A and B are shown apart, each in its own frame.
Chain A
Amino acid sequence: MNKLDIINKLAADLGLNQKIAKIAVDTIVDTIKKAIIDGERVEIRGFGSFTLRSYKGYKGRNPKSGEVVEVSPKRLPYFKVGKELKDMIWKG
């Protein structure tokens, strides 16, 4: 399922105009993205939480050529799955 599928499902389930549903989905995703970029923790009960983690730079190796490469420090969001969703997936 991709973004368009979600938009279509929301439009159908909630009786929304497709254009409105698209704006809604984009707004939700953009709002979460902005918070993560600002380093803010995002927590959605029953779904999960996103936290931004910082990683130090290190000397890595290209596994194919064996060449040593410098990996610069980076920040990556970490997603921790919420209990309810975890149980839903577990039980199918």
Chain B
Amino acid sequence: MTKIEIVASLYEKLGFSKRECANIVDAFFQTIKETLAKEENVKLSGFGNFIVKTKRARRGRNPQTGEEIKIAERKVLNFRLSQVFKEEINSK
């Protein structure tokens, strides 16, 4: 499934033009992306939470050459599944 199918189901539900529905879907994902870029977490009840985590800087090693390298502090995105959604998936 891609954005096209999501736009289609919105089109069926709202009866707006495909264009308007595409704008809504784009704005939805854009809002989430911009929020996460500000390091603010996004919680979608019944679905899950998107959490930005900071990984500490650490020393790594190139496994091929054995050379030691510095890995700088970085931010990664974690998805925490909602318990409700987890049960919905596994009750089927």
Minimum CB–CB distance for B22 against chain A, Å: 12
Number of interface residues of A (CB under 8 A): 46
Interface of chain A residues 22 through 74 with chain B (CB within 8 A): 23-25, 27-29, 31-33, 35-37, 40-48, 52, 74
A88 touches B36 (CB 8 A): yes
A3 touches B45 (CB 8 A): yes
Minimum CB–CB distance for B29 against chain A, Å: 5
- A8-30 toward B: CB 8 Å interface, digit per residue (1/0)? 01100110100010011101110
Bound CA span A46–B28, Å: 13
Bound CA span A9–B32, Å: 11
Bound CA span A15–B27, Å: 12
B40 touches A81 (CB 8 A): no
Q: A23-B13, A28-B25, A33-B47 are in contact. Are A6 and B89 (CB under 8 A)?
A: no
Contacts of A90 in B (CB 8 A): 74-75
Contacts of A40 in B (CB 8 A): 1
- B28-43 toward A: CB 8 Å interface, digit per residue (1/0)? 1101111111111111
Contacts of A44 in B (CB 8 A): 2-3, 29
Q: A45-B2, A47-B33, A90-B75 are in contact. Are A76 and B89 (CB under 8 A)?
A: yes
The interface centre, meaning the residue of A20, A27, A42, A88 with most chain B CB atoms within 10 A of its CB, is A27
Contacts of B76 in A (CB 8 A): 81, 89
Contacts of B90 in A (CB 8 A): 74-75
A24 touches B43 (CB 8 A): no
Q: A10-B31, A44-B3, A47-B33 are in contact. Are A27 and B89 (CB under 8 A)?
A: no
Nearest A residue (CB) for B12: A27
Minimum CB–CB distance for B57 against chain A, Å: 14
